[in-house]
Amino acid sequence: MAKSKQEIIADINAHIADCGGRYSDWYAGITEDTKRRVFEEHGVEKGKDPYIWRTAVSSVVARETEKYFLDLRCDGGSGGGDDDADIVYAYKKSSRTDP
């Protein structure tokens, strides 16, 4: 089910609080394909690296939500994804991830 900006922010903030670390220890981004982007390109390992993603109601909302986390100093960069990128994701960086 697609979520609003505030719902996604609350979910990701709760996950970061549960898993620990500063915002700068986390990477935030948007994608249309979590398997490819999170697991293949970033190298996040299920069961080892904390991660979360949520589907936004639109790519515009996804970009706004990504900006919120980048403004909090999560690693990442704006401008990624395309008009289909409606999934906001975050993961805690580790020696296994890129970055």
Mean pLDDT of 27-49: 97
Whether the link from the prior residue into 50 is cis, omega within 30° of 0, is no
Mean pLDDT of 27-48: 97
The predicted-structure confidence for 48-84, as pLDDT tens digits, reads as follows: 999 999 999 999 999 999 999 999 999 999 877 788 9
The predicted-structure confidence for 3-23, as pLDDT tens digits, reads as follows: 999 999 999 999 999 999 999
Plot region of 79 (φ>0 → left; ψ -120 to 50 → alpha; else → beta): left
Alpha helices, H only, 20-83: 34, 59-71
Length of the chain: 99
Distance separating alpha carbons of residues 10 and 39, to the nearest angstrom = 23
Sign of the four-CA dihedral 78, 96, 24, 28: positive
Could you tell me if 36 and 71 are in contact, meaning their C-beta atoms sit under 8 angstroms apart?
no
